[in-house]
Amino acid sequence: MSSTLLIVISTIIILGGATIFSIYLGKKSSDNDWEVGGRNLPLYVIVGTQYATAMGGGMLVAHVGIGYSNGWSAMTYGCLVAAGLLLLGIIAKWLRQQEFTTIPDIIANLYGNNKTLLLLTCILTMVVPFGWICTQLVAFGKLYSNLTGIPQNWLMVIFAMVSLAFVLPAGLKSVAWTDFIFGCLMIAVSFISLGVIFKMGGGWSNIVAKLPSEIVKFPKGMGSVGISTILLWSLSIIPGTLTNQMYYQRVFAADKVNSVRKSLVISGLVIISADAWASAMGISIRALNGGLEPEMASGWFLTQVPNWFLAIYSGFLVATIMSTIDSAIHSISVNLTRDIYKKILHPEAGEDKLNHLSKVYSVGIAAIAVALSILYPRALDWVIATYAFSAAGLLFPIFAGILLKDKESLTVQGAIGSMICGFIGCIVGMITKSNIPYVAYGLVGSFLGLFIISLITKDKIDNLTVKSK
């Protein structure tokens, strides 16, 4: 049997089985399941969906590439993601107690239902998941086109359509449970792939003996990427994790308030282990072939494995990429319906109307993402910037707002100004082409904007209050 046929059969089995399960969940779903999974997702499902959502296609290509070029440094990346989740854990119990649905809910709780502020928050919240959809579609199209010979554009269309099968039946409930299944598959195939690559390399000791000690010695190798790069990662990954709505939604959906912190700690550990896997794979592939471009390491590995394993690994790739796309589609659809349609445009809208619109919007989101991925397959590098702009605009309004929520020292004008100053700061940093990451300019601008504008506008509000008395 040809490798292409095996890949197609493996993909159909995995996606078909997950689709059937998703439809089954849809038949048993309620209105509350769409947005927050009924707020009854057990701990193991929360951990599984956090892990599956965080991995994405980047883990298989970029992170293995980091391991290929800089050894255990990919694990450093995972530690920074975990650090963001741990910091989120500080406020997780409060978040779950408030029964929020989205990040704009948090902002409204802290600053009030100002429509301008809510709209800005929605935009900054949606850009990251939308970027994830586009990049994952392009990654899938390019990878599977090379493996199967099927045209890239057709693959992206088909994949986007299939991803809707995990969103439409029950929203977050079906997304989270299928992500959990995909996550279990990812862990199993990760162990198998290490066994395969270690056998190809003649064992771990033989593999590391062929490479420079500064990248393979643990934990020294975690810093081999360089201090400057680690600082760059820190400024983007930690703030990006702290402002990523997809992580928040899983906190909101936990069945027990007391389990949310535990879920984030366990998720962080699982993500670190995933990047340890990426490091080990990259190191092993480099020992076998040291002349590759780092991000081509995974692709080369697939050309060296037997057909039976290629079929299994292909299913692993599909599950990894799919688990990110379906989460991102769901996240955006909730913002469009709950935060923009209901809170800003039609406050009288009922749950039935919102759930119907969520499904319509999900289809529209997928269609727009496919169109952009087809029209601009090489222009999607700009999506990386969405992390910087989103984090710069949301980090301080959220966390300073929670920290000072009982002090009445921050104003809605300050929050709006913080988001605008964060955006402007990132633009200035990009234009100046400084060695300092442009997200740092955005974060500084956002911080100053929040407190300076709040101070100015608070004085005016206080004066108006005194005069009215």
Q: What one-character-per-residue DSSP string does 369-416 give? A: HHHHHHH-TTSGGGGHHHHHHHHHHHHHHHHHHHHTTTTT---HHHHH
CA distances from 77 to 66, 217, 229, 250, 440 (A): 9, 17, 10, 22, 18
pLDDT at residue 186, as a whole number:
84
Has residue 272 got a pLDDT over 90? yes
Q: Do 7 and 39 belong together in one domain?
A: yes
The better pLDDT of the pair 59, 432 is held by 432
Among 330, 347, 382, the domain-final residue is 382
Q: Do 302 and 434 belong together in one domain?
A: no
State the Cα–Cα distance between residues 254 and 459, nearest whole angstrom.
41
Q: Check: CB of residue 163 under 8 Å from CB of residue 31.
A: no
Rg (CA), the chain: 23
401 within a domain of the structure (yes/no)? no
pLDDT at residue 465, as a whole number:
43
State the Cα–Cα distance between residues 372 and 383, nearest whole angstrom.
12
Digit-coded pLDDT (tens) for 215-269: 999 989 999 999 988 988 888 889 988 999 999 999 999 988 888 999 999 999 9
Q: Check: CB of residue 337 under 8 Å from CB of residue 364.
A: no
74 within a domain of the structure (yes/no)? yes
Q: Do 176 and 242 belong together in one domain?
A: yes
Once rounded to an integer, what is the mean pLDDT over residues 92-113? 92
Q: Do 138 and 28 belong together in one domain?
A: yes
393 within a domain of the structure (yes/no)? no
Q: Do 376 and 251 belong together in one domain?
A: yes
396 within a domain of the structure (yes/no)? no
State the Cα–Cα distance between residues 2 and 417, nearest whole angstrom.
59
Q: How far apart are the first and last CA of the chain?
A: 85
pLDDT band at 21 (very low <50, low <70, confident <90, very high): confident
Name which of 156, 102, 166 is nearest 336 in CA terms.
102
400 within a domain of the structure (yes/no)? no
Q: Do 350 and 445 belong together in one domain?
A: no
Three-class DSSP category at 29: coil
State the Cα–Cα distance between residues 241 and 267, nearest whole angstrom.
13
State the Cα–Cα distance between residues 323 and 181, nearest whole angstrom.
10
Domain count, the chain: 2
Has residue 30 got a pLDDT over 60? yes
The model carries a pTM of 0.88
pLDDT at residue 31, as a whole number:
67
Long-range interactions of 222-230: CB distance < 8 A, separation 24+: 222/72, 222/73, 222/75, 222/76, 222/79, 223/73, 223/76, 224/70, 224/71, 224/72, 224/73, 225/66, 225/70, 225/73, 225/76, 229/73, 230/73, 230/76
Q: How many CA atoms are closer than 13 Å to the CA of 138, on its beta-carbon side? A: 21
Q: Do 427 and 348 belong together in one domain?
A: no
pLDDT at residue 468, as a whole number:
43
pLDDT band at 379 (very low <50, low <70, confident <90, very high): very low
Among 348, 367, 382, the domain-final residue is 382
Q: Check: CB of residue 319 under 8 Å from CB of residue 215.
A: no
Q: Do 364 and 320 belong together in one domain?
A: yes
Q: Do 60 and 184 belong together in one domain?
A: yes
Across 87-91, 128-132, 331-335, 383-387, least confident range: 383-387
463 within a domain of the structure (yes/no)? yes
Digit-coded pLDDT (tens) for 274-315: 999 999 999 999 999 998 888 788 888 888 888 888 888 887
- Give residue 47's domain range: 3-382
Q: Which tokens hold the place of 411? A: 């104003």
439 within a domain of the structure (yes/no)? yes
Q: Do 309 and 437 belong together in one domain?
A: no
Three-class DSSP category at 254: strand
pLDDT at residue 467, as a whole number:
42
Has residue 411 got a pLDDT over 70? yes
Ramachandran bin of 293, using left for φ above 0, alpha for ψ from -120 to 50, beta for the remaining angles: beta
Name which of 91, 101, 194 is nearest 400 in CA terms.
91
Instruction: Supply the mean pLDDT for the chain.
Output: 87
CATH of the domain at 344: 1.20.1730.10
389 within a domain of the structure (yes/no)? no
Q: How many CA atoms are closer than 13 Å to the CA of 342, on its beta-carbon side? A: 21
Q: Check: CB of residue 361 under 8 Å from CB of residue 354.
A: no
Q: Do 308 and 419 belong together in one domain?
A: no
Three-class DSSP category at 41: strand
Q: Do 105 and 12 belong together in one domain?
A: yes
